[in-house]
């Protein structure tokens, strides 16, 4: 079976390009936004107001970049994993069109000051409908392909994809109906907490983790370490992850029993991440020497470290004594970026870099640009973004607790916010290099003579039967 | 193949099933335990305007940087106010708890600051809070006759902000009055350069938006604020007084308290404010300060000023209790002669201090000099409590005192007279009685007894004859903020009387040009 028979390279490329647009624009606005924290009257026009930029950035990155890049990668993985072409390639094009339409309408409305007051679901209702439609169509296409698979066994990635699509469809509808229009006050907060938590936990996490479960064995050309650990990791995620949502509103008027329950239900997530990451690391065992040679692996492995870190932070943050200090501070901002940038953006960039020569049939225009991209993003993020904001979060929390005037807290924050802005430029530069490289490769890369996926496919089969 | 399909379906069922478990267990269950909550007393549903404001708050994403719940931990009740309870959020759909505090929590914000302050702050936060990183919202304002005025959207947003925490407002007010009642000024630390430098830093950070970088009251927020920020270069408040105002704020003005700063910082600011004072020179054309002039000043002061400012300038006149802001306490505020003279001329927008521009210059100089004496504490307290007005001293004076003279020679209401009256009314009476004569002027709201409503044809003395109104204008109304206006020329008083009358006399109203 040849991969060209099942993967539609055109679709993967189209989704990838749109995903790159979906990160290049929101990150440009993020740069302006981070500048505005330091120079609040910089470029002071209504449609670039800080909060409008913030929702453009978060929604753009979640639905535009992560959403579309997941789809790009799934358009490669799912047919190959299922051993058959997509359910309908025409449907894929329609989905892509709808998805972009939803983004354009939703993000445009946000800049025009029509923000729906549910965090991460700020699209107004008409864009919600468009997006839900696009997401359901994508789900039908992907799950339909998996369900009609000719393969004998369902690979672990497929479990995650099915879970993610089914759960997130319902979750998205819940957020945009019940949270936005029906549930009052504390009850609304409990439900919004579920939405926020599960948008990360059961949309981004299962798709991202499923992708890594596929990419690691393929790139390393060896099977996953343990089927049992995969099972434990999956089912604990599916069961426990959706229950801890109210930890986003600790010490709020939400009934106290819900908040108390959220502490152990969040702590148990440590088990999830340890099983999953242990499984990956043991798969990597004996192959670590390969990592520095492949930029795709570098991205994915760095992402795994970030994933481990951010998911360890999570249960730790859910301890009430820690919450007292770090809640509402920049610590949480750093934590969220460690997850969405440090882990999942890295997974997706690594995967796209691995896939790209295989769907264009060309070698990278300049492999060094990928390396530059990797180091710029990593340096910019960890040195100028993650470390300063994490420290700043603790400082802010401690200062507030000691009843320091608000002005002092802002004054202490400003140098760190300036560093964040600088970090943004590094990240942006790195990203532009990779985006440029992808585009240029498809147009002017050296054509490859032999398809390189043959061996990978064998590796996957080996993985399945392990 | 069949078996396989079942296997895949398992994951699909898991996705839907686990969603339902979480939604029912952690979403619906808390909702049902909250059913039956009753809103706390004083917690009214939002008005239409407030609802509109809430929509703007949502659409502009204010909730991304401002949370709306006070946690019972991390000293938050000390910082923001009473801890939030679930019953207070029954009308909140969707809830706006928020997850990040780039700016302070707002759930107890209502009533902490004036509407004026909020307008200035929304137009550009740096106007009132120079250190702020909040975005400006100029698109909620429009230009009218060269002035920036709030649109309906800005008014709605501010109405909403003022409604936040409305049920806990009485409690917070009680806590605040307890704090004020028990507050005692400590003694200032010695003046050092370091303290003065700290004071300058803090002044630039917290005060310069309203009071201006030079402290001359010409800060960027000035056009929005009524009363306007004090010019600190022409008054020389005592350290203790500045410290007190910094600690307690100044109710009735947009001056907030800065209690969050430690004592030492507030003393540093007090020293810096002391440093800012530049005694403005008295122009050469001003009359010399003679004992005759002071006597005239005293006599005029007793008539015009003491009902609010008190006989010794301690701000304890009979009408003072009703005023917000309270009348200036001269020995504490220590205004310079020029400050008093200018204030007499211009009045203070948004307060009970009306313009006395129609007084002759010499009388204003006399008053200014006399207030200087009061400021220095040079005026001994009266031997016995002053008898209720009219005071015997006043009747013996030579000026056009009309207390005893029955008024019957009313001039005809010519258009010229009415035009003059209209102009005078706007200058002198509007702050309390309102532009429509309905007693709803900006300074009148706080008065007790409230300013008279001229539109209802109900008269406190007499039956609404022009002569009776003239008499009240001339004599004032003892025990209220209505001062005697006998310093105005008789003709002007008649003009005013006609205007007052016109609010309940449509025929007369039509004659006003």
Is the full-model pTM beyond 0.80? yes
Structural domain boundaries enclosing B269: 183-276
Measured between CA atoms, the residue of chain B closest to residue A140 is B12
Whether A413 maps to a domain, the answer reads yes
Residues 38-67 of B with CB under 8 A from A: 58-65, 67
Residue B463 pLDDT: 79
Cβ–Cβ of B19/A242 closer than 8 Å? yes
B244 and B218 belong to one structural domain:
yes
Q: Answer for the pair B400, B489: CB distance below 8 angstroms, yes or no.
A: yes
How many domains are contained in chain A? 1
How many domains are contained in chain B? 4
Residue B5 pLDDT: 53
Residue A243 has pLDDT above 50, yes or no: yes
Using 50, 70 and 90 to split pLDDT, how confident is the model at B386? very low
Q: From chain A, pick out residues whose CB is under 8 angstroms from the CB of B205.
A: 407, 411
B102 and B165 belong to one structural domain:
yes
Whether A80 maps to a domain, the answer reads no
B165 and B202 belong to one structural domain:
no
Q: Answer for the pair A380, A424: CB distance below 8 angstroms, yes or no.
A: yes
Cβ–Cβ of A51/B60 closer than 8 Å? yes
Of residues B75, B94, B139, nearest to A401 (C-beta)? B75
How many beta-carbon contacts under 8 Å exist across A and B? 251
Q: Answer for the pair B56, B139: CB distance below 8 angstroms, yes or no.
A: no
B113 and B92 belong to one structural domain:
yes
B221 and B330 belong to one structural domain:
no
Give B141's strand partners: B150
B332 and B421 belong to one structural domain:
no
Which of B296, B283, B304, B415 lies closest to B354 in space, CA to CA?
B304
Structural domain boundaries enclosing A413: 362-447
Among B321, B354, B380, give the residue marking a domain's end.
B380
Whether A199 maps to a domain, the answer reads no
Measured between CA atoms, the residue of chain A closest to residue B35 is A187
Measured between CA atoms, the residue of chain A closest to residue B7 is A154
Q: In A345-452, which residue ranges form alpha helices assigned H by DSSP?
A: 346-360, 367-381, 387-401, 406-444
Cβ–Cβ of A192/B95 closer than 8 Å? yes
Whether B58 maps to a domain, the answer reads yes
Distance of residue B355 Cα from the nearest chain A Cα, in angstroms: 38
Among B249, B276, B303, give the residue marking a domain's end.
B276
Which of B356, B374, B347, B334 lies closest to B443 in space, CA to CA?
B347
Whether B224 maps to a domain, the answer reads yes
Cβ–Cβ of B65/A51 closer than 8 Å? yes
B266 and B329 belong to one structural domain:
no
pLDDT, tens digit, for every residue of A330-385? 999 999 999 999 999 999 999 999 999 999 989 999 999 999 999 999 999 999 99
- pLDDT mean over B165-173: 93
Q: What is the CATH number of the domain that holds B337?
A: 1.10.760.10
* Strand ranges, E, within A192-244: none
Cβ–Cβ of B61/A119 closer than 8 Å? no
DSSP-derived 3-state class of residue B389? coil
Q: What is the ipTM of this complex?
A: 0.94
Whether A2 maps to a domain, the answer reads no
Q: Answer for the pair A222, A459: CB distance below 8 angstroms, yes or no.
A: yes
Q: From chain B, pick out residues whose CB is under 8 angstroms from the CB of A327.
A: 71
Whether B107 maps to a domain, the answer reads yes
Whether A418 maps to a domain, the answer reads yes
A315 upstream amide cis, omega within 30 of 0 = no
B70 and B145 belong to one structural domain:
yes
Q: Would you call B123 an interface residue with chain A, using a CB distance cutoff of 8 Å?
A: no
Q: Using CA of residue B174, residue B176, residue B180, residue B186, what is the dihedral sign?
A: positive
Using 50, 70 and 90 to split pLDDT, how confident is the model at B405? low
Cβ–Cβ of A188/B60 closer than 8 Å? no
Cβ–Cβ of B74/A325 closer than 8 Å? yes
Measured between alpha carbons, how far is B328 from B320 in angstroms, rounded to an integer? 10
Tokens for B383?
């031997």
Distance of residue A189 Cα from the nearest chain B Cα, in angstroms: 6
Describe the crossing of helices B115-123 and B152-163 by its angle, rounded to 10 degrees: 120
Whether A376 maps to a domain, the answer reads yes
**Angle subtended at Cα B123 by Cα B120 and Cα B128, rounded to the nearest 5 degrees:** 40
Which of A370, A363, A359, A375 lies closest to A437 in space, CA to CA?
A370
Distance of residue A257 Cα from the nearest chain B Cα, in angstroms: 9
B168 and B197 belong to one structural domain:
no
Measured between CA atoms, the residue of chain B closest to residue A250 is B71
Whether B327 maps to a domain, the answer reads yes
Cβ–Cβ of B8/A158 closer than 8 Å? yes
B168 upstream amide cis, omega within 30 of 0 = no
For chain A, give the number of residues: 466
Q: From chain B, pick out residues whose CB is under 8 angstroms from the CB of A52.
A: 60-61
Which residues are CB-neighbours of A53 under 8 A, at least 6 positions away?
A: A29, A30, A32, A33, A36
Give B144's strand partners: B147
Q: Answer for the pair B41, B167: CB distance below 8 angstroms, yes or no.
A: yes
Tokens for A334?
């750093």
Whether B42 maps to a domain, the answer reads no
Q: Is B211 exposed, middle or buried (0-12, 13-18, 19+ CB in 10 A)?
A: buried
Residues 224-263 of B with CB under 8 A from A: 258, 260-261
pLDDT, tens digit, for every residue of A55-73? 999 999 999 999 999 999 9
Cβ–Cβ of B33/A406 closer than 8 Å? no
Using 50, 70 and 90 to split pLDDT, how confident is the model at B472? confident
pLDDT, tens digit, for every residue of B242-256? 999 999 999 999 999
Distance of residue A332 Cα from the nearest chain B Cα, in angstroms: 8
Distance of residue A438 Cα from the nearest chain B Cα, in angstroms: 35
Measured between alpha carbons, how far is A370 from A352 in angstroms, rounded to an integer? 11
Cβ–Cβ of B18/A238 closer than 8 Å? yes
Among B172, B206, B231, give the residue marking a domain's end.
B172
B63 and B106 belong to one structural domain:
yes
Whether A345 maps to a domain, the answer reads no
Residue B102 has pLDDT above 90, yes or no: yes
Whether A351 maps to a domain, the answer reads no
B96 and B164 belong to one structural domain:
yes
């Amino acid at each position: 079976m040849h991969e060209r028979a099942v993967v539609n390279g055109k679709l993967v490329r189209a989704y990838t390009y749109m995903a790159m647009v979906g990160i290049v624009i929101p990150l440009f606005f993020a740069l302006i936004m981070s500048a505005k924290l330091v120079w609040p009257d910089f470029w002071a026009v209504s449609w670039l107001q800080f909060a409008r930029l913030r929702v453009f950035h978060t929604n753009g990155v979640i639905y535009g970049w992560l959403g579309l890049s997941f789809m790009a990668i799934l358009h490669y993985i799912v047919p190959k994993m299922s051993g058959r072409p997509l359910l309908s390639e025409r449907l894929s094009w329609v989905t892509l069109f709808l998805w972009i339409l939803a983004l354009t309408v939703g993000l445009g409305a946000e800049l025009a000051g029509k923000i729906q007051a549910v965090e991460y679901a700020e699209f107004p209702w008409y864009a919600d409908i468009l997006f839900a439609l696009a997401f359901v169509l994508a789900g039908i296409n992907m799950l339909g392909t998996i369900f009609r698979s000719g393969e004998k066994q369902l690979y672990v990635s497929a479990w995650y994809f099915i879970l993610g699509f089914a759960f997130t469809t319902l979750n998205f509808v819940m957020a945009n109906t019940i949270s936005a229009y029906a549930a009052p006050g504390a009850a609304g907060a409990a439900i919004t907490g579920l939405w926020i938590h599960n948008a990360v936990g059961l949309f981004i996490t299962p798709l991202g983790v499923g992708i890594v479960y596929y990419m690691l064995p393929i790139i390393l050309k060896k099977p996953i370490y343990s089927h049992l650990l995969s099972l434990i990791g999956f089912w604990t995620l599916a069961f426990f992850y959706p229950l801890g949502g109210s930890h986003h509103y600790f010490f709020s008027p939400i009934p106290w029993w819900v908040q108390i329950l959220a502490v152990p239900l969040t702590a148990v997530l440590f088990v999830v991440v340890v099983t999953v990451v242990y499984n990956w690391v043991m798969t990597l065992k004996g192959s670590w020497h390969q990592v520095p040679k492949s930029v795709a692996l570098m991205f994915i492995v760095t992402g795994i470290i970030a994933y481990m870190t951010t998911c360890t932070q999570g249960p730790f943050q859910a301890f009430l004594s820690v919450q007292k200090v770090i809640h509402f501070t920049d610590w949480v901002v750093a934590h969220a970026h460690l997850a969405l940038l440090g882990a999942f953006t890295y997974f997706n960039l690594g995967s796209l870099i691995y896939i790209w020569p295989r769907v264009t049939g060309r070698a990278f225009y300049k492999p060094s640009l990928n390396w530059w991209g990797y180091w710029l993003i990593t340096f910019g993020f960890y040195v100028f973004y993650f470390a300063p904001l994490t420290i700043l979060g603790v400082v802010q929390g401690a200062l507030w607790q000691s009843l320091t005037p608000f002005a002092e807290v802002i004054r202490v924050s400003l140098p760190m916010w300036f560093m964040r802005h600088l970090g943004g430029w590094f990240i942006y530069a790195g990203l532009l290099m990779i985006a440029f490289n992808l585009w240029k490769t498809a147009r002017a890369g050296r054509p490859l003579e032999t398809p390189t996926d043959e061996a990978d496919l064998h590796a996957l089969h080996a993985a399945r039967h392990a | 193949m069949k078996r396989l399909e079942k296997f895949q379906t398992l994951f699909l069922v898991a996705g839907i099933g686990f969603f339902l478990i979480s939604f029912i267990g952690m979403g619906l269950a808390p909702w049902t335990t909250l059913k039956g909550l009753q809103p706390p007393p004083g917690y009214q549903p939002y008005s239409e305007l407030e609802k509109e404001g809430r929509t703007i708050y949502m659409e502009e994403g204010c909730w991304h940087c401002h949370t709306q719940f006070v946690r019972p931990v991390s000293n938050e009740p000390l910082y923001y106010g009473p801890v939030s309870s679930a019953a207070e959020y029954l009308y909140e759909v969707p809830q706006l708890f928020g997850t990040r505090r780039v700016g302070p929590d707002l759930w107890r914000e209502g009533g902490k600051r004036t509407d004026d302050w909020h307008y200035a702050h929304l137009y550009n936060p740096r106007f009132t809070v120079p250190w702020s990183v909040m975005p400006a919202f100029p698109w909620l304002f429009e230009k009218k006759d060269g002035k920036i005025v709030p649109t309906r959207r800005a008014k709605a947003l501010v109405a909403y902000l003022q409604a936040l925490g409305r049920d806990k407002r009485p409690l917070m007010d009680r806590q605040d009055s307890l704090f004020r009642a028990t507050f005692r000024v400590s003694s200032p630390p010695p003046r050092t350069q370091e303290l003065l430098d700290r004071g300058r830093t803090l002044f630039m950070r917290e005060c310069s938006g309203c009071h201006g970088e030079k402290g001359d009251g010409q800060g960027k927020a000035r056009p929005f604020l009524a009363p306007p920020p004090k010019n600190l270069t022409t008054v020389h408040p005592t350290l203790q007084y500045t410290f007190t105002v910094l600690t307690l704020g100044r109710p009735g003005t947009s001056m907030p308290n800065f209690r969050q700063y430690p004592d030492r910082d507030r003393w540093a600011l007090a020293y810096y404010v002391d440093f800012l004072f530049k005694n403005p020179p008295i122009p050469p054309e001003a009359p010399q300060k003679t004992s005759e002039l002071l006597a005239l000043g005293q006599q005029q002061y007793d008539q015009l000023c003491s009902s609010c400012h008190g006989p010794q300038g301690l701000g304890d006149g009979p009408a003072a209790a009703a005023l917000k802001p309270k009348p200036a306490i001269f020995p504490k505020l220590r205004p310079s002669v020029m400050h008093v003279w200018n204030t007499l001329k211009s009045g203070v927008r948004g307060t009970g201090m009306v313009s006395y521009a129609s007084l002759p210059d010499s009388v204003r100089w006399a008053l200014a000099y006399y207030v200087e004496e009061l400021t220095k504490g040079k005026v001994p307290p009266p031997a016995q409590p002053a008898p209720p007005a009219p005071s015997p001293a006043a009747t013996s004076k030579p000026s056009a005192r009309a207390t005893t003279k029955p008024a019957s020679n009313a001039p005809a209401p010519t258009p010229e007279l009415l035009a003059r009256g209209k102009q005078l009314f706007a200058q002198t009476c509007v702050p309390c009685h309102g532009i429509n004569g309905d007693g709803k002027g900006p300074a009148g709201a706080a008065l007790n007894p409230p300013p008279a409503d001229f539109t209802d044809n109900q008269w406190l003395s007499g039956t609404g004859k022009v002569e009776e109104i003239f008499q009240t204008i001339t004599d004032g109304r003892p025990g209220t903020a209505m001062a005697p206006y006998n310093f105005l020329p008789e003709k002007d008083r008649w003009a005013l009387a006609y205007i007052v009358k016109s609010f309940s006399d449509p025929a007369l109203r039509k004659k006003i040009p």
